[in-house]
Amino acid sequence: MGRKPKTSPFQKHGVLVLNKPSGPTSTDCLNDIKHQLKQFKIGHAGTLDPLAQGVLLVMLGKATKLGPYLTGRDKVYSGSLILGRTTDTYDIQGAETSSADISDITEEMVKNEIFAWKDLTKQEVPAYSAAKHKGKPLYELARKGEDVPVKIKDIEINFSEPLEVSLPRACFRVRCSAGTYIRSLVHSLGMRLGCGAVMDSLTREESEPYRLCDAYELEDVLGDPEKFGEKVIPIADTLPHWPKFTLSEDMAADVMNGARIPVDPASGGALYGTEGDRAMFVDQKGEAIALVEAKRFNSELMWAILRGLWN
């Protein structure tokens, strides 16, 4: 039998919006919180590379069930790149693989290429990434010198803009779909210009619906254990863009027994929704019970459980 997971009387249930510092991995940050604050049930939504800093959503306790529903929305990043070189990781921390003269490159050319990101619909996944092939992260294959399969993924760039260009460096901001590799955007820009480019810095400013101004510094989180709970967003408030319905005691009990609840067809009704809508059910105390979706069963529209949150 496997080892029983540790439990802690200090375990919180909710989401911590962390301002991950540049340097440690996302896992390093979680391990610090896990061991120093005894948060043994912990996870994160949307990995940030060691070089990157900014919004990292840390899921605690029962909120670890929310991962798929916290990661799918747009992200906003600001960052910088350096022209005239390439590395195996597409960022400044990798081993250099080429260098080139940039004397023919103008600031206007670079600005145009940053604006052009919004026209991209696909990108190559970096070899040094956590994307998996046959169950193994690509970075493991790359580090062992094994062949790394080329993976192409769909992306959506909602906007991209140059902030400041002073060659060989350029700063930018981009809003993109979840899972977009900014390193790959930088690499593709360098390839189009024919001189190469590497990402020099990156800050995740927003992981919808959470922004950097909502985030806590890691040192502040670890340095004040007694006030840690005040920094954690309760599960019932973690998806503010989802409708939230308060159930009666009887209805809450039915949901926790796996029952579906009829959707109120009247606009403005207590359980109003249309097919495909998603919502959160809470009990009379305001505690989260379940995430639900309006689905049709034998022509009747019902709220069906996506994820139970009551235990």
Number of CB atoms found within 10 A of residue 23's CB: 11
Phi–psi pair at 117, nearest 5 degrees: -55, -30
Where is 16: in which H helix or E strand? Answer: strand 14-20
Number of CB atoms found within 10 A of residue 290's CB: 23
270 Rama class: left (phi>0) / alpha (psi -120 to 50) / beta: alpha
Respond yes or no on whether the N-terminal peptide bond of residue 168 is cis (omega within 30° of 0).
yes
The Cα 104–Cα 246 span in angstroms is 63
Secondary-structure breakdown of the chain: helix, strand, coil percentages, each rounded to the nearest 5:
25, 35, 40
Active site residues per annotation? 49
Contact predicate 131/124, CB 8 Å: no
Residue recorded with tokens 């009704």: 269
The Cα 262–Cα 264 span in angstroms is 6
Contact predicate 64/12, CB 8 Å: no
